[in-house]
Amino acid sequence: MSKRKKGYLIFLWMFLLLSISGFFGAFYYYFYRNIPNTYKLPVSKEETIHFALPVSAEVYKESIETMGTNNVIKTTPAGSITLKADRLESYHMDLKLFGTIPVKTIDLEVVNDIKVYPVGEPIGIYVKTQGVLVIGVGDVENVNKMTYSPCANIINEGDYIQAVNNEEVSGKKDLIEKVKSCNGKDLIITLRRDDEAVKVKVKPVLDKSGDYKIGLWIRDSAQGIGTLTFVDEEGKFGALGHGINDVDTSELMEIENGGVYKADIVSIRKGENGNPGELTGVIDYGMENKLGIISKNTDVGIYGTLSKEETNSLTKGAIPIGLKQEVHEGKAFILCEIDGESKFYDVEITEINLDNDNTNRGIVLKITDENLINLTGGIVQGMSGAPIIQDGKLIGAVTHVFVRDATKGYGVFIENMVLMR
């Protein structure tokens, strides 16, 4: 065989291998992008999932009761899969290409139909941390102008201080007082670190002002403005669409308690490309302005319970939630209060990421309403939690704005929020 012919055959084999690799790469990308790892199925309703490939499915439970009737889930093979379950259960579904090649396992969860009341009103938020959050470790200059770092390599950024010498710490001021009154003796500090209790010993330093210090930057609370997404008939609410993270550590704050309050928007800084805008509001933290309590801070929002009076004023016009498989590209609305009244504004959903690793970025949307663009320039800080409505269903909440294009942003699927309440 000539060298030329041999080289040609090698080229053909390489081209074939690359083509096959490209096919399987595109195939797995399709499954990653378009088929979620988890799938919520409404109880007693038939749903069909359509695939662009000849895929079949096997649905099963890891365990079943040894007596009683079995709950049968219905499937049809090849290309499209029809599912129906008549009671609340959890299943696994194995997808196979051509009926033989395993490609993905999906967790199926059967859920009730849910209706909630979309809100879209601005709220003032105040939360108190569980313990005192360490946001940085610094130096202390003593009376002899020598610099020490008492907590270096002992206490870490992101730790929560819970007690000093076995006495509970109630907050930032309490911790400072406990250190000041130590008379230079070693302190046994109890921390919560990665969900574990840790005890460390720290030697305070008498600083140049005559106070004992340990060289920590600390925080015990956070506050700001966001948007109330929904409330149910029992007064349970969800807001923001993302968690409250510490501005210095970027970690999700572990909260002890908190409250939501009336907020009045007093000014708007319009968003521009490269410079996100912001809603500026006035919050009165008086008890008469408190709307409810915050009980939970999660990656997909904050949760709590509104007062009975506030619940009664908001629970009008309940609508069903749309599960993420119902969301589609095209026209939708967001509900938010910018100029004193909650209004619907036109948006377009441009992209859907059913299995995005970041749960707050499942929906990509673009503001198309000229009135809102004239008011705010697009999506601005303070609009986090604004309900997204499509086809008469609540499908998500606004979470982020694109820095380079203020008219675009991300949203979280509402099923991720509502089922956490």
The domain 139-214: what is its CATH number? 2.30.42.10
Q: Where do we find the tokens 């001021």?
A: 173
Question: What pLDDT was estimated at residue 58?
Answer: 82
Give the pLDDT score at 339: 84
Per residue in 335-348, pLDDT tens? Answer: 999 988 889 999 99
Two tokens, residue 389? 């409505």
199: enclosing H helix or E strand: strand 196-202
* Element holding 377 (H helix, E strand): none
Q: pLDDT tens-digit profile of 88-123?
A: 888 888 888 777 878 788 888 898 889 999 999 999
- pLDDT of 251 reads 87
What is the Cα–Cα distance from 197 to 194, expressed in whole angstroms? 8
251 close to 245: Cβ distance less than 8 angstroms: yes
Q: Count Cα atoms within 13 angstroms, Cβ side, for 79.
A: 0
How far apart, in whole angstroms, are the C-alpha atoms of residue 8 and residue 65?
62
Pick the CATH number of 117-125+224-418 from 3.40.50.300, 3.10.180.10, 2.40.50.140, 2.40.10.120: 2.40.10.120
pLDDT attached to residue 302? 97
Domain locations in the chain? 1-30, 35-111, 117-125+224-418, 139-214
Residue 62 sits at the vertex; the CA angle it makes with 61 and 63, to the nearest 5 degrees, is 90
pLDDT bucket at 50, cuts 50 / 70 / 90: confident
Q: Which residue, among 276, 278, 269, 267, has the nearest Cα to 406 in the 3D structure?
A: 276
- The yes/no answer on whether domain 35-111 falls in CATH 2.60.40.10 is yes
Write down the pLDDT at residue 151: 93
The catalytic site residues sit at: 242, 369, 384
